[in-house]
A and B are shown apart, each in its own frame.
Chain A
Amino acid sequence: EPEVTQTPSHQVTQMGQEVILRCVPISNHLYFYWYRQILGQKVEFLVSFYNNEISEKSEIFDDQFSVERPDGSNFTLKIRSTKLEDSAMYFCASSERSDSPLHFGNGTRLTVT
């Protein structure tokens, strides 16, 4: 069964550095998403992306964050000038349609020190 893959599985970075989290969505899916889950807390929506542009974003997704689909397969989340509170598990997801079930990757655990 096709799946969403995320790399790296764990990223450690120093405060103030920039990180890029990478995702390969399922190939025939058209909608892409990033979520985050701070340890012990609930999953939070960050952004959805369709037709090469952001379709929805939450209050969390401020100017520190950006997303890109640089080619036909990758979907990236860039976090500029990381802060300690950015430490979390970041999940990528994709879906065929906006109302289809989401298929999540296994996440990238970001640790900011």
Chain B
Amino acid sequence: KNQVEQSPQSLIILEGKNCTLQCNYTVSPFSNLRWYKQDTGRGPVSLTIMTFSENTKSNGRYTATLDADTKQSSLHITASQLSDSASYICVVSEGGGSYIPTFGRGTSLIVHP
């Protein structure tokens, strides 16, 4: 069964600090991996999308990495801001003609002033 596991479950950091969120997956065959940010009570918003051949992708202060061999991804947030407080969700899609995505449970990030 396809699974996406995220760690830590929750994280509290001080404003201005960096942090790294982890995602491990067992989805196979692999199509792509996406990171989303979900504010409370809102729909997820796409941060990055990575395919098999990509191992790093940046979007402003967000940098995602992908190791397709070990089936691991990370999301690094630089110089955190209060507005970064949200749930960060890792989503992995199958390949081979099916694009059904598997969502992780998310990491809840709280940034304190």
Contact = CB atoms under 8 A, between A and B. Distances in A.
Interface string B73-113: 00000000000000001010000001111111110000000
Contact of B43 (A41, A44, A45, A106): A106
Given A42-B104, A43-B89, A99-B32, A56 B99 contact: yes
Contacts of B98: 56
B45 interface: yes
B43 A98 contact: no
Contacts of B101: 45
Given A101-B49, A102-B46, A106-B42, A43 B103 contact: yes
B44 A104 contact: yes
A32 interface: no
A58 interface: yes
A87 B41 CA distance: 15
Given A103-B46, A105-B43, A48 B99 contact: yes
A98 B99 contact: yes
B31 interface: yes
A101 B104 CA distance: 17
Interface string B31-49: 1101000000111111001
Interface in A23-73: 41-45, 48, 56, 58
B105 A99 contact: no
14 contacts: A41-B105, A42-B89, A42-B103, A42-B104, A45-B100, A45-B102, A48-B99, A48-B100, A56-B99, A91-B43, A98-B99, A99-B31, A101-B46, A104-B44
Interface of A: 4, 41-45, 48, 56, 58, 91, 93, 98-99, 101-107
Given A56-B98, A103-B46, 8 more contacts: A42-B89, A43-B103, A44-B103, A45-B100, A45-B103, A48-B100, A104-B44, A107-B42
